[in-house]
Structure formats: structure tokens, C-alpha cells
Copies of this chain bind each other. A is one copy, B any other.
Amino acid sequence: MKPNRVEVLAIGDELLDGRVADTNTLRLADQLSFYNIRINQRTTITDDIDVIIREIKNIAERKTELCVVSGGLGPTSDDVTAEAFAALSGEELIRDEKTIQKIKQRLQQFNRPVTENQLKQADRPKSSELLINPVGSAVGFQLKYKNCLFVALPGVPKEFDSMVNDHILQPFKNLELRPLEKKVFRSFGLFEAQVDELLSDLPKKWPVIRLGYRAHFPEIAISLKASPEHSEQLQEAQKFVREKLGKSLFSETQGGFAETLIECLKSQSKTLSLAESCSGGLAGHLLTEVPGASEVFSVGLITYSNKSKTEILGVKEDTLKKFGAVSEETVTEMANQVRSMAKTDYGLAISGIAGPGGGTKEKPVGTIWIALSLEHEIITKKLELFFDREKNKIISAHSALDLLRRRLQY
């Protein structure tokens, strides 16, 4: 049955002494939201058996129906979650034989001794139900206390997530609870406030759709969620989002920004070279994060000084003297030159003032010129940014790649 009241009990000294943030609850909440289930409360406590028992009692008393317990099942002596549950109901711990074998095998593989603390990870209260951990050593377990089902899972995020899926979400699916459908759009080139403005009519037109934003600088992800019976509205709302975002929309899948550009280049059998000044290699780095980038990207020249712009890249000294390094004229020559040197279909160039120093009254910090050189055409754009050095570099590199991405994708 779908639980009405859900809590999280997060156990571990490391969660309260400044070492580790509890991100398990965050991801669990996101997963549960697909079933329209909310977490009502989270209690974070230290590895103290009396405190654990006290809080289990409090949680059950609040008429909680499902409590996900995270942590305290590991191999160190302060891991006492299983002990606490056993003590609560006055029963003994039992050790899972299969898990013991698995632990022994793993330790032997790494030439490490089999200690009592390691074996302790196979322990669970006798009356509990064993929950298999497919990716780690410690077992999980679940048991009912009063009217609350406690599901105790290891706190290691990879293990926690995997077991949430197997032992919480899967049972929901078996109950034929149908998760919300979710669609994510990824955009570049708009601020969150602009996206919000563009999509402001969406909640009015389709009140059954849950609209969300998440900013991953410099991108904005837009998510739509709806229950399966509102599938048609979800389709309509998707169309609305596509129309409103226009060319800012670069992906409707998990595909990243650079990945999208590289896919476009590959599918059109085109190649790209880069001439970077203020972005300092970041555009090249972004492209080469994508496996297989070498099929379309062969050369990037980081010409950070004026001298290197003339000597390495062949920009005319006159151009630099007359217009400066941060100018439409210079960035045009940079893009044309790198395209011709690298013999690629496209050449992209970036030159600007990332800051904090180097600004003038005419060209303040944040002035960036970008250019895209094509066979019979040059496209240039001036950016006037107001971020710090790091973000100015990020926007510069992305904007240059985006000139080409928009051209190829739409």
C-alpha cells in the first residue's frame, strides 16, 4: 500500500560533524515524488544506540507508515543500527550466511584480514526481513515496529540508491502504483528568470503538469511531470515548451551540451577547430569531455598573448594594433585562420576580457567577441558579461560552441 506518512532517519556521526552532507534524502525525495509521495520529516542523529531507539519510537508514535533508515550498517565499531533495532524489540541478531561468504571472498580478493567488524555487516534482527545489497557488503533489513515499516539501508550513496530502487520503488511498481511521467528539456542561452517568463502560461494552461527548473550553470533544465492518465496534456505541454524555448533548447535526452554539438557535426560529417584566447582551453576541454570527439575535433590553438595571435595563428599585426585583441576584426581573423590552418569545415574563435583585471572604459571586464568561420561566411557576436572570471570563461566557451550548435541543430 502507498504510505501516507513517510520519514527518514539518517544515522551517522559524519552527518553532524561537518564531514558529509546527507544527499541520500535528496535523491530519495526525488524518486518518491514520481509516486506523489512526500517525505514529511527527516531526523539526523549520531551512531548512538539509545538515541536511535528513542527516535525509532518517536517516529512510530507520529503514525509514520514508512521510515527509510540510512546508515550505521557498515564495518566499524560505531555502526550500531542493527543492534539498536534488535534491542528495541528485545531480540537477537542473526548473521546471514551467504553474505558472510561474500564478505570473506571480497576481503581475500584484496588480501585483507577477515575481522569480526567486517562480518558484523551480515547481521540483522532475527524477526526482520533480509534486504539484499547488490553493490556492497552490508545487508539491509526491514521490520515493522508498531504500525511503521522501517527499511534500514546502508548510507553509502551507491548502495542506498540501488537498494531504494530494489526494495522501495520496485514494491510500489508491483503494487501497480504507476510513477509520474517525466520529461526534461535542457537549454542554453536564457536566464532562469527568462525561462520562467517564457513558460509562465504553462501552469495555467495545463494545471495537471508539474513544472520545475534546475540551473546547472550555464544551463537551465526544465522538467515536466504528470501522472500517466495526463499523458496527452504532457504531450501538449512539451510542444509548448519546444515552441517557447526555440533554439535555446539543445537536448530532450540526457545528452549534454558539447555532446549535442559533436553529434550534429558527426551526423553531417563536418569538422571543427578552435582558436581560444580568454577561455584559455576551456572550449577544447568541453568538446573533449565527449568520447569520440576526435572524429570531429582535431585542433585547438590557445593564443593567450598578442604575440602568439600573430606568430602562431597568423593574425595581422595591423589588425591587433588598430582594433585590439578584443575586437570583431581580430576574432574574425582568428576564426578564419584556425579554420584554414586546421583544414576544418568550421573555425570558432573567442577573445575577451575575463577579468578581474584588464578592463578599460571602452572595453570593460566581460567584453567578449566570438566568431564562427564557415566556407563563405563569418558570424560574429559580442557578449557583455557581468560574472566573475570563472563564469565569464564558462559563458564565453559555451557561447562560441553555441553559435555553431544553433546553426547545425536547427
Contacts and interface: CB of A to CB of B under 8 A. Distances in A.
A137 B186 CA distance: 32
A29 B292 CA distance: 44
Given A40-B46, A41-B45, A282 B280 contact: no
Contacts of A379: none
Contact of A21 (B26, B40, B288, B390): B26
A396 to B, nearest CB: 11
A38 interface: yes
A45 B312 CA distance: 60
Q: How many copies does the complex hold?
A: 2
Interface stretch (A87-95, A117-125, A164-172, A300-308): A300-308
Nearest to A294: B304
A348 interface: no
Interface residues of A, number: 66
Contact of A302 (B22, B274, B289): B274
Contacts of A22: 21-22
A68 B176 CA distance: 42
B39 A41 contact: no
A308 to B, nearest CB: 5
A307 B298 contact: yes
Interface of A: 15-23, 25-30, 33, 38-46, 51, 58, 212, 274, 276, 278-285, 287-289, 291-294, 297-305, 307-308, 312, 341-342, 354-357, 389-390, 393
